[in-house]
Copies of this chain bind each other. A is one copy, B any other.
């Protein structure tokens, strides 16, 4: 790996927003610094950063992947399938299971940004009503 200015501006964008944002949003912000940058370069950089554990790539049901800095550390989410509400979960919650899996299968766990789907209380009633 080599010093890439795209990587730098992507991380900057992700750290400034601190939320999950799409590649389009990232692309816009990188382009503010590197006007001639190509989308595929951004995608490749995102892949690279995820592979190195710097960011997470997730499907949160928005129609496009969302990206987030891993600076604040591993964490997970519970997402309502119907309204999209996102709840933050401590990653420690899965620590025990992950350790057990590592012990049982000899794997080294990589997952650090799980997305669990469910129905929030409000959407449960609306779903029963026939939403």
A residues whose Cβ falls under 8 Å from a Cβ of B: 59, 78, 80-81, 87, 89, 93-94, 97-98, 100-102, 105-111, 114, 116-121, 124
Q: Please, which residues of chain B bring their CB within 8 A of the CB of A87?
A: 105, 107
A49–B100 CA distance with the chains assembled, in angstroms: 33
A124–B102 CA distance with the chains assembled, in angstroms: 12
A80–B121 CA distance with the chains assembled, in angstroms: 35
Q: Which single residue of chain B is at the shortest CB-CB distance from A94?
A: B97
Given A101-B118, A116-B101, A118-B101, A78-B94 contact (CB < 8 Å): no
Known pairs A81-B110, A98-B116 / 11 extra A-B pairs, C-beta < 8 Å? A78-B101, A93-B100, A102-B118, A106-B120, A107-B118, A108-B118, A109-B116, A111-B116, A111-B118, A114-B114, A114-B116
With beta carbons under 8 angstroms apart, the residue of B78, B102, B111 that contacts A107 is B78
Most chain B C-beta atoms within 10 Å of own C-beta, residue among A93, A107, A117, A121: A107
With beta carbons under 8 angstroms apart, the residue of B78, B93, B98, B108 that contacts A124 is B108
Q: Which single residue of chain B is at the shortest CB-CB distance from A97?
A: B93
- Is the beta-carbon distance between A105 and B81 smaller than 8 angstroms? no
- Is the beta-carbon distance between B119 and A110 smaller than 8 angstroms? yes
